[in-house]
Amino acid sequence: MSVGAGRPREARPTLAVVGATGAVGTVMLDILSTREDVWGEIRLVASARSAGRQLRVRGEEVVVQALTPDVFDDVDVAMFDVPDEVSLAWAPVAATRGAVVVDNSNAFRMDVDVPLVVPEVNPLAARSRPRGIIASANCTTLSVIVAVAALHREYGLTGLVCASYQAVSGAGRIGVDTLHDQLQKVAGQRELGTRVGDVRRAIGGDDLGPFPAPIALNVIPWAGSYRGAGHTSEEMKVRDETRKILGLPRLAVAVTCVRVPVVTTHSVAVHATFEREVELDRAREILRDAPSVVLDDDPEGGGFPTPIDAVGTDPTWVGRVRRSIDDPTSLDFFLCADNLRKGAALNTAQVAELVAAELATARA
């Protein structure tokens, strides 16, 4: 967004980035340095143990400040990427001090007084924020929603079945380290994976990290924590958040989340059902024209998205688009999106830019 970019920096809104030293925070700083600059001062905030570090943003070295109430004085917008419990404690503090909080945790997503915003889908929702807080969606939801929402506007979504293939970075730095450590242990042992238990023995029972089973040479049909009746927190997030973002509280959603040995970028196989018959060429046209979506769909020529090609990019990449053989109202497709960019840092930054534009208009 370019709103405010031509104004002197001191006249633009002040931004705080809370959790600036984390994995997503680092990506946030890169995004702030490469998108059009709508911000005045940018304050970098983290825990007391990280205070005093210097991080680079917009080509400048900025000292990290400790998370205290005073750090939000005169802040217009605060982007949070911290654990749920930290957001629950500190987002209301920032809002009380006058900042509009854009929170990337799960703490407020299903709060009825907190809008859940994806700028390509429901940007106007960001204007109604009774608590002074706006939530950004889960990484898997964000991977799916921009493509599904574009199709929903044309055909009317009635049901969604998804199987995710989620990168280990979704489990944090420890997830990435665990994958690399396990890969070192199995490297060069070509016989592994041919007998029951051989991979587990090679890795050892104490090297599972955040996962319930080995992730090297394996896939794990489990992501998140247990939420009852066999479902995980990641699966429930996709269901509940999709309903809220699209304004479809009774939408039928079935999700199975799977962890795969990919460092960064989530993939999802989607089966979407609509009110009306889907015309394939029109569906491809919708996806091709949808904001933040790139259609990569040439299956005969080997053209379809994969995580290693989508990583480090901003769009959701969609391919393998086909009408369901047995149901003309259903569409099947495969997509990939970087879970640290659009799935986290980028969407948070985009929502913050919506607020910056709103503030600039109000102050004009």
Any idea which residues carry the catalytic annotation?
139, 266
278 half-sphere exposure, CB direction, 13 A CA radius = 30
Is 54 within 8 Å of 63 (Cβ atoms)?
A: yes
Q: How many helices (H) and strands (E) does the chain have?
A: 9, 13
Alpha-helical runs (H) found in the chain: 23-34, 84-96, 139-155, 173-186, 198-203, 233-246, 280-289, 307-310, 346-363
Mapped onto helix, strand or coil, the DSSP state of residue 164 is strand
Q: How many CB atoms lie within 10 A of CB 144?
A: 26
* Distance between CA atoms of residues 340 and 65, nearest Å: 23
Is 157 within 8 Å of 248 (Cβ atoms)?
A: yes
Mapped onto helix, strand or coil, the DSSP state of residue 338 is coil
Is 51 within 8 Å of 71 (Cβ atoms)?
A: no
- Residue burial 4-18, b: 16+ Cβ < 10 Å; e: rest: beeeeeeebbbbbbb
Mapped onto helix, strand or coil, the DSSP state of residue 66 is strand
* Distance between CA atoms of residues 58 and 140, nearest Å: 29
Q: Tell me the β-bridge partners of 219.
A: none
* Distance between CA atoms of residues 340 and 142, nearest Å: 11
